[in-house]
Amino acid sequence: DTLINQIAAGEVVERPASVVKELVENALDAGARRVDIDLEEGGVRLIRIRDDGNGIAADELPLAVSRHATSKIASLDDLEGVTTLGFRGEALPSIASVSRFALSSRRIGEDRGAVLEIDGGRVGDVVPKPHPQGTTVEVRDLFFNVPARRKFLKAERTELGHIEEWLRQLALARPDVELRVSHNGKPTRRWKGEGDLVEVGLSDLRIGEALGEEFARNALRVDHSGAGLRLHGWIAQPSYNRASADQQYFYVNGRAVRDRSVAHAVKQAYADVLFHGRQPAYVLFLELDPRRVDVNVHPAKHEVRFRDARLIHDFVYRTLNDALAETRA
Ligand code: ADP
Ligand code: MG
């Protein structure tokens, strides 16, 4: 079983950033309002994610780390309309098979916490342990038992950079959650939670925090609905002068996604109105009925498959094209 989990880990766990992603997404799925992310040596030595979510009951800890056990999907029907971030039940067993792993938690309404340790896939016993409501996952010495994978990890700075970039991507989508990051014992970043996730989904404040004041000042607000689709967010105007291939954020139902057809639509909208050849900067959120999009394409879930890709391409193109044309008029 450890071997199967390690093989699965090859798909889910590429580097420390993928561990952080899976664990923070679990925290959010559990309703966390605050997530603490402590890292050492770019996450290779330690990743500790602590949340104040609903927690896991002591007797369910072994289930949480067993393969294909997910509490998020009860039937194939659910898979069609999946709204949580995780749903495959693969992340924890995969991560635990390639690290020294500890899962501590106290379930909401219970007065005792517990911990389950797993060493390179060897599962220990559930042991009582005081813990505030919520969950802490500790991942030490990633790939210590898979030298071939460990060899491919990059320098501390690089791995940390990947983690920070992913956190920025998340912070843009979830301004309601507080994220506190430390590296090698020093606080490095704090994304303050900004209360409820309001209709617009994102505050001007966090946009500035994430992409800089320059972007915030030059960004055009977009919000358009039609055909059961809603596209909202920010796109840079021509006055924004920074090279921005790395400032392209696109979310489908709150999930950050890479989609060539959508990227093309955005680029085309710009090219046709304003600046030829330039890489546009944008933070855009597409909302649609989850049944119109398949998120079950890739284990790491960066990709989606739209049921009506053409319609979505055209909707994105048209919305942005209109918005940009208006600024010129
Ligand atoms: P998935 O997220 O796909 O369900 P995971 O392996 O990531 O699979 O997690 C397995 C299960 O463990 C989850 O379905 C959930 O019930 C539980 N779990 C994991 N992390 C947390 C957390 N931070 N808080 C509460 N429950 C969690
Ligand atoms: Mg998960």
The predicted complex's ipTM stands at: 0.99
Separation of CA 177 and ligand 2 centre (Å): 18
**Banded pLDDT at 6 (limits 50, 70, 90):** confident
CA gap 21, 261 in Å, rounded: 25
Helix, strand, coil percentages in the chain from 3-state DSSP, rounded to 5: 35, 25, 40
Judged by DSSP in three states, 306 sits in strand
Q: Does domain 204-328 have CATH number 3.30.450.20?
A: no
Q: Say whether pTM exceeds 0.95.
A: no
Ligand 1 pocket residue status of 92, Cβ below 6 Å:
yes
Ligand 1 pocket residue status of 32, Cβ below 6 Å:
no
Question: How far are the Cα atoms of 86, 142, 196, 238 from residue 14, in angstroms, in the given order?
Answer: 17, 10, 33, 37
pLDDT digits 0-9 by tens, 210-269:
888 889 888 899 999 999 999 999 998 878 877 667 899 999 998 889 888 999 999 899
Nearest to 96 by CA among 23, 179, 28: 23
| CATH number for the domain running over 2-191 | 3.30.565.10
Ligand 1 pocket residue status of 70, Cβ below 6 Å:
yes
Predicted confidence at residue 199, as pLDDT, reads 46
CA gap 226, 292 in Å, rounded: 14
The domain ranges of the chain are: 2-191, 204-328
Ligand 1 pocket residue status of 87, Cβ below 6 Å:
yes
CA gap 26, 13 in Å, rounded: 15
Separation of CA 214 and ligand 1 centre (Å): 38
Provide the phi-psi class of 58: left if phi over 0, else alpha when psi is between -120 and 50, else beta.
alpha
Q: Which ligand is nearest to the CA of 53?
A: 1
CA gap 269, 224 in Å, rounded: 15
Ligand 1 pocket residue status of 65, Cβ below 6 Å:
no
Ligand 1 pocket residue status of 27, Cβ below 6 Å:
yes
Separation of CA 86 and ligand 1 centre (Å): 8
